[in-house]
Amino acid sequence: MMEVKNLTFSYGKEKQALHGLNFSVEDGEIFGFLGPNGSGKSTTQKILTGILKGYGGTVSLFGKDLSSTHTQDFFEEIGVLFEFPYLYANLSALDNLRYFSSFYPRERLRDVEELLDELELKQDFRKKPVSSYSKGMRQRVSMARALISNPRLLFLDEPTSGLDPSGAVLFRRIIEKERQKGTTVFLTTHNMLDADLLCDRIAFLVKGNIAALDTPKNLKEQHSNHRITVEYLHQGRRGEQTVEPTELKAGIPFAYDELLSIHSQEPTLEDIFIRYTGRRLS
Amino acid sequence: MWNHNKGNRDPARTNHRLTGKSCKTRSIWKSLRSLLQKDFRMMRSGKFFAVALGSLLLYTLFIHFAYVRFMDMEIYQVYLYDPAGTQRNVSPLVHPVASLEEMDRILHKDANSVGIHVTDGKPEVSLYTASKKLDRHRSDYALSLLHPGGKYTPETVGGNNLEQKNRRDITCELLFIEIVAVGFLGIASVLFKEKQMGVMRVHAILPLPKSLFLFSKIFLFLATDLVFAILLVLCNVGLSGTGKILPGLLIQTTILSLVMALTVFGCAMILKDFRQFSLAYLVIALFVTAPVFLSANTSIKMTWIRFHPFYHIYMGLKHAFFGIPVANPLYYLCAAGAVVLLFGIVKTAFCREMEKEG
């Protein structure tokens, strides 16, 4: 689906944003691209979506070199959700979607009303101007715009930003549904929970370099100290002990009356990111 | 064509591929129609048409009830003091006076009139209220009456009466102001509104030729200017007069409209917001209108004005209003070159705008 080799890009002579990125994304995979502000995430996404030209290295999408075969057909195959909900404020959600969908072949379009139902946009608002919408509602319409053409490759930039927790859960469900349909998703985010729950693989981008690339599970395992913390009650007193997993083979290796909890000492993705980069995400 | 790895994909995404040139052409027309509809709605919601209609009404009322009446004033009176009687073939429009005191009294009373004092056969023109540069035409007119058929005799252009001439003059000026200043501002407000919504960036990832986005807007702005020009001329020059001058007028309006629309489009892409534009607007509007109006409508002579592109466009428009064809191919070549160059600049600026974020 996507193959990026030695990707470089500079804004002017002295500001190199990307320093030779190498990664590939498989068909139907959700690939997470994580990094702090200014790390080169947006630049990479702009190159992959055909907005930015003049890059170095090779980018191959759908089996074709992006620089040599960049045509309108390519744009028919992709859907892009920008970080900000760019919509015509004077038009309604329905008019916005009808307008943006008018550039795609009719055969591949999804039904606008069905899509808005799926995104749970309130019926009363659909014919009202977008200027009267909350940020979350705009984000839902933007997501509908990205999905309207049934894209094979979906670029999502901070999809859950501006959404309340139930909205975020809904978006994750929709992204998961897209994966089940066979859509490849390139997810750019600061949100570690999104990355952890959704992504098959993630890449940590720092100062235009990929610092780590693997599945969330592998990354966590690799950086785990493989210790387990046990909380217990013994003779009416609360206690806590950390043990090696091998110590548990023969049972709990200390006296207790009641076990309260058992936690593995697995790091979060953010912990791993900080270990790689020395920086927090936001 | 892009490969389709169907896999477990749903049928809606397959069998949609349209091939062939006719499909592409149909798709372009469909895209253009969508863009035009959307731009029309943007202009309507931005009160663009309402402002144009308001301007049309205001200009028409001004011409009918103010300008034509105001300009319907008597021609300057010319008084001659020629004690030796050296001037023989003077026009009957010249009023002889018996003394310098009498001429002084009359000129004091009617400051627009012109006095000629002939001493030793040489006429000396007296203007009591005048500017040395601006009022040459009054002295030229007076001297032309002193020697009918001589070097000061004005050439008669066209067969319009005074009212017709005045109507054409002022309609031409108002059309120029509308396109250069009022419409220019209206276009900027529509473009900045769209820019601030960020939606231009979405067009970067839509399957349509990027030039089409520019073309649609320029086409609508041009169409609005042409309709405005036709209505303004119909209302103020009259039906019979309009028919004769319309083809030339539409050509000149097209040139002016395209140049201005592309200029404002470039400004909207390069400048950050409408506040920045308002400063640029003052400079552009002043640069375009002030020297052109001064040079074309007054006696002020500016030798450099021939290098001012809008002077030539204004004169083309003026000639069109009086049915005089602009036959210089260099003018049209330069105009076409300017439009192509501006379009190229605007397209580059538009592509840069699409690359931005946030």
Q: CB contact, 8 Å: B19 with chain A?
A: no
> In chain A, whose CA is at the least distance from the CA of B2?
A62
Q: Tell me what pLDDT residue B152 has.
A: 66
Closest CA to A153 of A52, A215, A77, A88: A77
Check: CB of residue B217 under 8 Å from CB of residue B347.
no
> In chain B, whose CA is at the least distance from the CA of A131?
B197
Q: Tell me what pLDDT residue A224 has.
A: 76
Q: Which residue type does B311 have? A: Y
What are the residue ranges spanned by the domains of chain A?
A: 2-220, 226-265
Q: State the smallest CA–CA distance between residue A134 and chain B in angstroms.
A: 15
What are the residue ranges spanned by the domains of chain B?
A: 38-68+160-355, 78-146
User: What is the separation, in whole angstroms, between the first and last Cα of chain B?
Assistant: 33
Render A36-102 in DSSP notation, one character per residue.
-TTSSHHHHHHHHTTS----EEEEEETTEETTTS--HHHHHHEEEE-SS----TTSBHHHHHHHHHT
Interface of A with B (CB under 8 A): 1, 27-28, 42, 46, 49-52, 62-64, 69, 72-78, 80, 82-84, 86-91, 99-100, 102-105, 107-108, 110, 145, 150, 152, 181-182
The torsion region of residue A57 among left (phi > 0), alpha (psi -120 to 50) and beta comes to left
Angle at B133 between CA B132 and CA B136, to 5 degrees: 85
Q: Tell me what pLDDT residue B133 has.
A: 64
Measured distance CA(B19)–CA(A74) in Å, rounded: 14
User: What is the number of other CB atoms lying within 10 angstroms of the CB of residue A247?
Assistant: 15
> In chain B, whose CA is at the least distance from the CA of A80?
B205
Q: Tell me what pLDDT residue B20 has.
A: 56
Q: Which residues pair with A216 in a beta bridge?
A: none
Whole-prediction pTM:
0.81
Q: What CATH number was assigned to the domain covering residues A2-220? A: 3.40.50.300
Measured distance CA(A180)–CA(A176) in Å, rounded: 6
In this complex, how many residue pairs, one in chain A and one in chain B, have their CB atoms less than 8 Å apart?
A: 109
Phi and psi at A275, nearest 5°, equal: -65, -40
Closest CA to B137 of B151, B122, B160, B154: B154
DSSP state of B305: G
Say if the Cβ atoms of B202 and A86 lie within 8 Å.
yes
Give me chain B's average pLDDT, please: 85
Q: State the smallest CA–CA distance between residue B15 and chain A in angstroms.
A: 8
Q: CB contact, 8 Å: B208 with chain A?
A: yes
Average pLDDT over residues A85-105: 94
In our burial notation (b when 16+ CB lie closer than 10 A, e otherwise), range B91-101 reads eeebeebeeee
Measured distance CA(B358)–CA(B343) in Å, rounded: 26
Closest CA to A224 of A178, A176, A272: A272
**B157 pLDDT more than 80:** no
- ipTM of model: 0.85
Closest CA to B182 of B238, B273, B257, B274: B257
- Residue of B5, B15, B192, B354 to mutate for A, most A C-beta atoms under 10 A: B5
> In chain A, whose CA is at the least distance from the CA of B17?
A105
Chain B positions touching A64 (Cβ under 8 A) are 2-3
Give me chain A's average pLDDT, please: 89
DSSP state of A117: H
Question: How much of chain A, in percent, has pLDDT values that exceed 70?
Answer: 98
DSSP state of B179: I
Q: Tell me what pLDDT residue A132 has.
A: 94
- Which of A49-63, A70-84, B113-127, B291-305 has the least mean pLDDT? B291-305
- Residue partners of B336: CB distance under 8 A and separation at least 6: none
Chain B positions touching A60 (Cβ under 8 A) are none
Chain A positions touching B194 (Cβ under 8 A) are 88
- Residue of A41, A48, A69, A76 to mutate for B, most B C-beta atoms under 10 A: A76
Of A51, A64, A73, the CB nearest to B204: A51
**A155 pLDDT more than 90:** yes
Q: Which residue type does B39 have? A: D
Measured distance CA(B113)–CA(B105) in Å, rounded: 11
**Torsion angle defined by CA atoms of residues B215, B220, B222 and B223, in that order, rounded to the nearest 10 degrees:** 130
DSSP state of A129: B
- Residue partners of A32: CB distance under 8 A and separation at least 6: A187, A188, A189, A194, A195, A198, A199, A201, A202, A203
